[in-house]
Amino acid sequence: MAKNFLTLMDYPEKEIRKILELAKKIKAGNSEGRLEGQTLAMLFEKTSTRTRVSFEVAMNQLGGHAAYLDSRTTKLAEKETLKDTIRVLERYCDAIMARVYRHSDLEEMSSISKIPVINGLSDLYHPCQTLADLLTVIEKKGKIEDLKVSFFGDCAFNMGRSTMIGFSKLWANVFLVCPDKAKYLPDPEFLEKVRKYVKGNVRIENDPVKGMKDADVVITDKWISPGQEKEEKQRTRDFKKYQVSSELVKHAKQGFIFLHCLPALRGYEVTNDVIDSRNSVVFDEAENRLHTEKALLLYLLKDD
Ligand code: CP
């Protein structure tokens, strides 16, 4: 069976650290393998800048090739099924990276695919981003364990969930900071499951000041993701007091770092004076997409 990368829930701490170690070596300029003659199919139902370019550059720099497909300009637009599409792509390519609306579509793809399927973002998870975030925090703070990592925003959606899983698997204390509304929190059953499998703590905090208090790492994401446009007014009202502003970050630990997967909607989830401050590491974080994705591709496609 092909190794897939759909969520960090499927990966034990040891394997996550192995991918991160490989990424560190690659970033330091050590050659850790090549993917000559191999092709990654990149299938997008949603737009992308970072995921598309970083995977394409990663494949090029490893000696392979990336083929870009989107659901508007392929036969998916004419109702060819995902299953049939996968059965064709696996005849040409060595791995598939897909960005989809529904995580269940990735699960269906991986259940039939003979080649690895990588989650390039779904409604539930964004594990490639979390790998880059973990590497960034290790570089800046020297470790993950025992850090207070506070995520502000929609904790029921992909970045909130992936942050919670990835950082707590590596022993951080994760605070999910959001309004007291069920729709912004991971469902209780999932939260229970995570708390059983992870090593660090996962706490929910509705008070933004308490969530920020002594935080080592502050993370936020867009309040409105593609597909949620109809909820814009409601969400903007609900998340207003969770905006990562210079006033709020006064409560964080001295020397805290600020992460955002980007794109950022400046003036909404974060203010200019925070994202452009010395505490912000968002562009190092974006760069680390490239190094961690090279490591991930080698991990999935090269035999040990
Ligand atoms: N962070 C991220 O996934 O960026 P894109 O949506 O531009 O790929």
Tokens of 172: 């951080």
pLDDT band at 197 (very low <50, low <70, confident <90, very high): confident
Percent of the chain scoring above 90 in pLDDT: 89
- Indicate if 266 belongs to the active site: no
- Indicate if 235 belongs to the active site: no
Residues 218 and 177 in one domain: yes
Residues 133 and 281 in one domain: yes
Predicted pLDDT of residue 225: 85
Q: Does any ligand 1 atom lie closer than 6 A to the CB of residue 144? A: no
Question: Which tens digit of pLDDT belongs to each residue from 23-81?
Answer: 999 999 998 889 999 999 999 999 999 999 999 999 999 999 999 999 899 998 899 99
- Indicate if 99 belongs to the active site: yes
Predicted pLDDT of residue 304: 58
Tell me what the mean pLDDT of segment 161-182 comes to: 96
Specify the length of the chain in residues. 304
**Nearest residue CA, atom 4 of ligand 1?**
50
Distance CA 179, CA 174 (A): 16
- Indicate if 34 belongs to the active site: no
Residues 41 and 139 in one domain: no
Q: Does any ligand 1 atom lie closer than 6 A to the CB of residue 104? A: no
Q: Are 258 and 278 in contact (CB under 8 A)?
A: no
Least confident interval from 66-80, 156-170, 234-248: 66-80
Distance CA 74, CA 80 (A): 9
Q: Does residue 1 form part of some domain?
A: no
Residues 205 and 217 in one domain: yes
Predicted pLDDT of residue 199: 82
* Residue from 126, 161, 235, 291 carrying the catalytic annotation: 126
Q: Does residue 66 form part of some domain?
A: yes
Total domains in the chain come to 2
State the amino acid at position 213 in one-letter form: K
Residues 291 and 281 in one domain: no
Q: Does any ligand 1 atom lie closer than 6 A to the CB of residue 110? A: no
Residues 112 and 138 in one domain: no
Q: Are 197 and 162 in contact (CB under 8 A)?
A: no
DSSP state of 266: B
Give alpha helix (H) positions in 142-184.
158-169
Residues 65 and 115 in one domain: yes
Residues 118 and 202 in one domain: no
Q: Are 41 and 49 in contact (CB under 8 A)?
A: no
Predicted pLDDT of residue 2: 77
Q: Does residue 3 form part of some domain?
A: no
Least confident interval from 198-202, 219-223, 276-280: 198-202
* Residue from 50, 99, 235, 260 carrying the catalytic annotation: 99
Distance CA 117, CA 89 (A): 11
Q: Does residue 2 form part of some domain?
A: no
Q: Does any ligand 1 atom lie closer than 6 A to the CB of residue 259? A: no
Predicted pLDDT of residue 226: 82
Predicted pLDDT of residue 209: 98
Tell me what the mean pLDDT of segment 116-131 comes to: 98
Report the candidate in 256, 217, 301, 293 with the shortest Cα–Cα distance to residue 23. 293
What's this model's pTM, rounded to 2 decimal places?
Answer: 0.97
Residues 50 and 196 in one domain: no
Q: What is the CATH number of the domain that holds 96?
A: 3.40.50.1370
pLDDT band at 303 (very low <50, low <70, confident <90, very high): low
Residues 54 and 133 in one domain: no
pLDDT band at 298 (very low <50, low <70, confident <90, very high): very high
Q: Does any ligand 1 atom lie closer than 6 A to the CB of residue 226? A: no
Predicted pLDDT of residue 32: 81
Q: Quote the domain boundaries for residue 162.
A: 129-285
* Residue from 50, 221, 235, 260 carrying the catalytic annotation: 221
- Indicate if 155 belongs to the active site: no
**Nearest residue CA, atom 6 of ligand 1?**
48
Q: Does any ligand 1 atom lie closer than 6 A to the CB of residue 129? A: yes
Provide CB contacts within 8 A for 141, sequence distance 6+: 147, 216, 217, 257
Report the candidate in 279, 300, 274, 11 with the shortest Cα–Cα distance to residue 130. 11
Tell me what the mean pLDDT of segment 76-98 comes to: 94
State the amino acid at position 295 in one-letter form: A
Q: Does any ligand 1 atom lie closer than 6 A to the CB of residue 280? A: no
Residues 138 and 258 in one domain: yes
Residues 43 and 172 in one domain: no
Predicted pLDDT of residue 228: 87
